[in-house]
Chains A and B, each alone.
Chain A
Amino acid sequence: MEPKEYRQRVRRMEQPRPVARNALWAFVVGGLICVVGQGVQSGLMSLGYDQESVKAPVSIILVFLGSLATALGLYDRLAKLGGMGANLPITGFANSVVAPAMEFKQEGPIMGTGARIFQVAGPVIAYGLLTAFVVGLVRFAISGGKP
């Protein structure tokens, strides 16, 4: 059999990912994480802070919760179910940094955790910065630096 023909057969016979079910769970899990975030925000605002000043503390608390759930071995299970619903919120970002930090502890604090901590998040950070730079240039071209 020709390799090309075989590859077509493989594609035809490959069990597809359960997209509808995955999407539904992504909605549920992602939604629940947002509910937690909203709860934290409302909680802080009930203490008398305004919306603008609680933005950073809410993010910090969510990052902490995501890291804690990763350390307790819960976040990977949540993400297995929720997929991008768990990866996309800031808790998912925390997971992507804490997971390699834990994993490569065995190779020591420098060559292990230190060198590998951004193994997963690195591309997001690098291209996030690049995108921010390009968007900044475009904005400058349009508005000439005026706020």
Chain B
Amino acid sequence: MSAQAAPALAQRGHLRLDAVIGAAATVVGPFEAKGPLGHLFDRVVKDDLCGEKSYERAEQCLLRGAVELLLDRSGVGAADVDLMLAGDLLDQITTTNFAGRDLGVPLLGLYSACATTSESLLLAGLAVTAGAARQAIAATASHHNAAERQYRYPLELGVQRAPTAQWTATGGAAFLVRPAGEGLARMVSATVGTIQDYGLKDPNNMGAAMAPAAADTILRHFRARGQTSRDYDLILTGDLARAGSPLLEELLAEQREHPGERLQDAGMLLYAEEQDVHAGGSGAVCSALVLASLALPRLRRGEIRRALLVATGSLHSPRSYQQGESIPTVAHAVELEAIS
């Protein structure tokens, strides 16, 4: 398929892509730097406030920092970026739009909670494939302290978290998507998720709520592509964590898919056991950080040939939860392969 051809709709919600992830950049908080992937991130901010006066502004600082670092390292000026697709977790996606003030790039704000990583990547890939952008940026950010005050409790309040609760990652990540050429990995195809809601209501167990969305998207992607999990070296979900991952394995096993070690979860890779984040990491940036620091370098080095990023999102709000609504969830998949 040539770069000029329109993206073919092979099956409902499945998109053929012809683009590469040219470069990636990450900025993380000090707590994330202490995790097992700490040494793989590009920049660590000194403290949680990123030199700002609020955590909301700190989150903007992380997103801006990741985008600036990305432009810097790929030698691309902001004026050469045709489109930026980015999202975050805060109300009215203020992080994205406020950071956009300083970037001067055509910007579309996105929201799919923690599935925003794959949503932004697949839309950037789609824009490039369709010839609508020569260089597009996909980016996400989240901040633990900003998410806590929006979704949960004041930071200093004494609360015992549930074992199934997850920890919102602090960081920003940005990816440069271009037409075929040099880069970290090729974007081959993507599957847009359908909203799944199995009636779960506990925001302290988002992994369980999101596992069916991940299973549905993975299976739909396999069907559209005529693949099985054996075609992949890595299926990276983000972020089902320790509560959701075994549920996904069961749901896949019922459809005779046994990915075994190929199935990894970003929420379980970002933090170490002794960091006491309960079930694992989450947040819009969590899967993006693991993708940029772990999966993309391995694809570039040819250690793995094919990977499926399946970022999952819990689409509830504090208000929907208080009103007793169940948690709708979504997962979007992006298929990546090694370039050489």
Interface residues of A (CB under 8 A from B): 1, 3-4, 6-7, 9-10, 13-18, 22, 70-71, 73, 75-76, 78-80, 82-83, 86-87, 92, 95-96, 98-100, 102-104, 106, 119-120
Q: Report the minimum CB–CB distance from A67 to chain B (whole Å).
A: 10
How far is A75 from B156 in the complex, measured between Cα atoms in Å? 7
CB of B157 within 8 A of CB of A14, answer no
In the assembled complex, the Cα of A100 lies from the Cα of B56 at a distance in Å of 16
A79 touching B198 in the complex, CB below 8 Å, given contacts A1-B251, A15-B164, A106-B54: no
Given A3-B198, A6-B198, A15 and B242 contact (CB-CB distance below 8 Å): yes
Alpha-carbon separation in the docked complex, A116 to B243 (Å): 33
* Residue from the list B156, B158, B160 in contact with A102, Cβ < 8 A: B156
Task: Please name all residues of chain A whose beta carbon is closer than 8 Å to the beta carbon of B198 when the two chains form the complex.
Answer: 3, 6-7
- Chain B residues within an 8 Å CB radius of A79: 157-160
Cβ of B44 < 8 Å from any Cβ of A?
no
Contacts A10-B208, A15-B164 hold; do A80 and B156 have CB atoms under 8 A apart? Answer: no
User: Is there contact, CB below 8 Å, between B160 and A76?
Assistant: no
Check if A87 sits within 8 Å of B156, measured CB to CB: no
Q: What would 20 A/B residue contacts be, using CB atoms closer than 8 Å?
A: A4-B199, A13-B246, A16-B163, A17-B162, A17-B163, A75-B158, A79-B160, A82-B158, A95-B156, A95-B158, A98-B156, A99-B153, A99-B154, A100-B154, A102-B154, A102-B156, A103-B149, A104-B149, A106-B53, A106-B55
Complex CA distance for A78 and B212, rounded to whole angstroms: 36
Least CB distance from A128 to B in Å reads 18
CB distance from A126 to the nearest CB of B (A): 16
* Any A CB within 8 A of the CB of B78: no
Shortest Cβ gap from B251 to chain A (Å): 7
Chain B residues, Cβ within 8 Å of A16: 163
Closest to B326 in A: A3
For B53, the closest partner residue in chain A by CB is A106
B5 interface hit (Cβ, 8 Å): no
> With a CB–CB cut-off of 8 A, which chain A residues contact B199?
3-4, 7
Name which residue of chain A comes closest to B148, CB basis: A103
Docked complex Cα distance between A16 and B247 (Å): 16
Could you say which residues of chain A place their CB within 8 Å of the CB of B161?
80
Separation of A86 and B159 alpha carbons in the complex (Å) = 9
Q: Which residues of B contact A (CB under 8 A)?
A: 53-56, 149, 153-164, 197-200, 205, 208, 212, 242-243, 246-247, 250-251, 254, 279
Residues of A within 8 A of B162 (CB): 17
Output the nearest chain B residue to A96 by Cβ-Cβ distance. Answer: B157
Identify the closest chain A residue to B250 (Cβ).
A9
Q: Are B156 and A99 in contact (CB under 8 A)?
A: yes
In the complex, besides A15-B279, A102-B155, 17 extra interface pairs with C-beta distance below 8 angstroms are A1-B212, A1-B254, A4-B199, A14-B164, A14-B243, A76-B155, A76-B157, A80-B161, A86-B158, A95-B157, A95-B158, A99-B154, A102-B154, A103-B155, A103-B156, A106-B54, A119-B154
When distances are taken between beta carbons in the complex, the residues of chain A under 8 Å from B163 are 15-18
A75: chain B residues within 8 A (beta carbon):
156, 158
CA distance A17 to B250 in the complex (A): 23
Find out whether the CB atom of B247 lies under 8 angstroms from the CB atom of A9: yes
Q: Which residues of B contact A80 (CB under 8 A)?
A: 158-161
The listed residue (A18, A22, A71, A99) touching B157 by CB distance below 8 A is: A99
Q: Is B156 a contact partner of A76 (Cβ separation < 8 A)?
A: yes
Residue of A4, A73, A106, A119 near B156 (CB, 8 A) is A73
Complex alpha-carbon distance, A103 and B53, angstroms: 12
Least CB distance, A147 to chain B, in whole angstroms: 38
In the complex, are the beta carbons of B158 and A92 less than 8 A apart? yes
Nearest-neighbor residue (CB-CB) of A71 within chain B:
B156
Bound-complex Cα distance A79 to B254 (A): 41
Contacts of B251 in A (CB 8 A): 1
A26, closest chain B residue (CB): B160
What residue of chain A has the Cβ atom nearest to residue B154's Cβ? A103
In the complex, what residues of A have CB within 8 A of residue B205's CB?
10, 14
Given A76-B156, A76-B158, A103-B155, are A15 and B53 also a contact pair (CB < 8 Å)? no
CB of B148 to closest CB in A, whole Å: 9
Q: Are A70 and B246 in contact (CB under 8 A)?
A: no
> 4 closest Cβ contacts across the A-B interface?
A79-B158, A103-B154, A99-B157, A99-B156
Complex alpha-carbon distance, A16 and B204, angstroms: 12
Interface centre among A82, A92, A99 (most CB of B within 10 A): A99
Residues of B within 8 A of A9 (CB): 247, 250
